[in-house]
Chains A and B, each alone.
Chain A
Amino acid sequence: MPRLGPALNLVAAVLVSAALLYAAFFGAGPLPALGVAFNPVTGAWTMAADASSNGAQTLHLKGLTQPARVVLESDGTAHVMAATDHDMFLAVGYVHAKFRLFQMDLLRRQGEGRLSDVVGKAALDSDRFELQLGLLRTAQLEWSQLSSSDPSRDALVAYAQGVNDRIDEAESQHQLPAMFTLLGYQPQHWTPIDSLIVKGDMTQTLNFTDTPLVMALLEKSLGHDLTSEWFAVLPPNQQSPYDPGPYPAKATLEQIPPLPVAQAQLNKVAGDSMASLYQRLAALPAGLIATGGASNNWAVAGSHTASGGALMAGDPHLHLTLPAIWFQLTEDSPGYHTSGVSIPGTPVVLIGHNQHISWSLTDAQNQQTFFYVEKEDAAHPGQYFWNGAWKKYGTVSYDIPVLGASTDHLTVKYSVHGPVISERGLTTTVWWAGNIPSQDLGVLMRIGQAANFKQFRDALRDWHSPTHNFVYADDQGNIGLISAGYYPQVAQGQPWLPMPGTGEFDVTGTIPYDDIPQVYNPPSGVVWSANQRQVAGDYPYYIGTASNFFDPGYRANEINRFLGQNKKFTAADMMALQTDTRDYLASEIVPLLVNALSSENLTGNEVAARDLLAGWDDRMEINSSAASVWWTFWQEYLAATFDPWWKSHNVKVDRAELNDALGQDLEAWSLRDPTNPAFTLIGSAQSARDVMVASFRGTVALLGTRLGSDPAKWSWGRIHTRVLENLAQITGLNYGPLPDRGDANTPLAAPDFPSTHGPSWRMVVDWGAGTFSGIYPGGQSENPASTWYTNRAATWWDGRYAPMLDFTGASASPGAVTWSLQS
Chain B
Amino acid sequence: MSALVRFITVLVAGAAISLLGILIGAWWLPFPVGVAAGVVLVRPRWVLPAGALIGLIAWTIPLVSAQLQYGLGPASLSLAAIMGFNGAATIPVALTLLVGLLLGLTGAWVGAAARGLVRPPLRPVQKLADQRLKVEDPVLAKR
Contacts and interface: CB of A to CB of B under 8 A. Distances in A.
Interface string B60-88: 00110010011110110111111011100
A9 B110 CA distance: 8
B66 A784 contact: no
B86 A39 contact: no
B12 to A, nearest CB: 20
A207 B19 CA distance: 54
Contact of A17 (B25, B71, B72, B106): B106
B109 A17 contact: yes
A6 B78 CA distance: 44
Given A6-B116, A40-B59, A43-B27, A1 B107 contact: no
B16 interface: no
Interface in A36-90: 36, 38-45, 47-49, 51-52
Interface in A153-186: 174, 178, 182
Given A13-B113, A24-B28, A40-B66, 8 more contacts: A13-B112, A17-B107, A24-B103, A41-B25, A44-B75, A49-B70, A731-B81, A732-B80
Contact of B102 (A9, A20, A44): A20
Contacts of A25: 28
A732 B109 contact: no
A51 B103 CA distance: 29
The listed residue with most B CB atoms (<10 A of its CB), out of A13, A20, A43, is: A13
A52 B70 contact: yes
Interface in B19-65: 22-23, 25, 27-28, 31, 44-45, 47-48, 59, 62-63
A28 interface: no
Interface pairs A-B: 6 shortest CB-CB: A732-B81, A39-B27, A784-B78, A10-B113, A48-B75, A785-B74
A730 interface: yes
Interface of B is mostly: helix
B99 A38 contact: yes
Contacts of A38: 92, 95-96, 99
A14 B44 CA distance: 17
A6 B113 contact: yes
A45 B22 contact: no
29 contacts: A6-B113, A7-B117, A9-B116, A13-B113, A14-B110, A14-B113, A16-B106, A17-B31, A17-B109, A20-B106, A21-B28, A24-B99, A34-B95, A38-B95, A39-B22, A39-B27, A39-B99, A41-B62, A42-B27, A45-B72, A48-B70, A48-B71, A48-B74, A178-B78, A178-B79, A182-B82, A731-B81, A732-B80, A784-B78
Interface residues of A, number: 41
A730 B92 contact: no
The listed residue with most A CB atoms (<10 A of its CB), out of B47, B78, B117, is: B78
Nearest to A43: B27
Contacts of A41: 22-23, 25, 27, 62
A236 interface: no
Contacts of B95: 34, 38
A737 interface: no
A24 B80 CA distance: 18
B27 A35 contact: yes
B135 to A, nearest CB: 27
Interface of A is mostly: helix
B114 interface: yes
A281 interface: no
A45 B80 contact: no
A1 B47 contact: yes
Interface of A: 1, 6-7, 9-10, 12-14, 16-17, 20-21, 24-25, 34-36, 38-45, 47-49, 51-52, 174, 178, 182, 730-733, 784-787
Given A20-B102, A41-B22, A13 B109 contact: yes
Contacts of A52: 69-70
A485 B23 CA distance: 54
A174 B23 CA distance: 11
Nearest to A730: B82
Nearest to A23: B99
B82 A733 contact: yes
A41 B24 CA distance: 8
A486 B70 CA distance: 51
Contacts of B66: 40, 45, 48-49
Contact of B81 (A12, A20, A784): A784
B22 to A, nearest CB: 5
Contacts of B48: 1
A733 B78 contact: yes
B75 A785 contact: yes
A732 B82 CA distance: 7
B116 A44 contact: no
Contacts of A182: 82
A365 to B, nearest CB: 37
Nearest to B78: A784
A178 B27 CA distance: 16
Contact of A40 (B44, B62, B80, B117): B62
A84 to B, nearest CB: 35
Nearest to B44: A1
B78 A10 contact: no
A40 B71 contact: no
Given A14-B110, A17-B31, A785-B75, A35 B80 contact: no
A38 B101 CA distance: 13
A16 to B, nearest CB: 6
The listed residue with most B CB atoms (<10 A of its CB), out of A17, A25, A49, A178, is: A17
Contacts of B82: 44, 178, 182, 730, 732-733
Nearest to B63: A40
B78 to A, nearest CB: 4
B116 A10 contact: yes
A277 B112 CA distance: 63
B18 to A, nearest CB: 11
A48 B79 CA distance: 11
A784 B74 contact: yes
Contacts of B25: 41-42, 174
Contact of A21 (B23, B31, B109): B31
A634 B117 CA distance: 80
Contacts of B77: 785
A333 B81 CA distance: 41
Contacts of B107: 17
A20 B102 CA distance: 8
A10 B108 CA distance: 11
B27 A47 contact: no
Nearest to A786: B74
B59 A6 contact: no
Contacts of B120: 6
A12 B117 CA distance: 13
Nearest to A53: B70
The listed residue with most B CB atoms (<10 A of its CB), out of A1, A16, A43, A182, is: A1
Contacts of B63: 40, 45
B100 to A, nearest CB: 8
A39 B59 contact: yes
B31 A6 contact: no
Nearest to B28: A35
A182 B103 CA distance: 19
A51 B75 contact: yes
A34 B92 CA distance: 11
Contacts of A34: 95, 99
Nearest to A25: B28
A536 to B, nearest CB: 51
A401 to B, nearest CB: 24
Contacts of A731: 81, 86
Contacts of A44: 75, 79, 82
B30 to A, nearest CB: 10
B56 to A, nearest CB: 12
B79 to A, nearest CB: 6
Nearest to A179: B82
B15 to A, nearest CB: 14
Given A21-B28, A35-B27, A35-B99, A49 B106 contact: no
B14 to A, nearest CB: 16
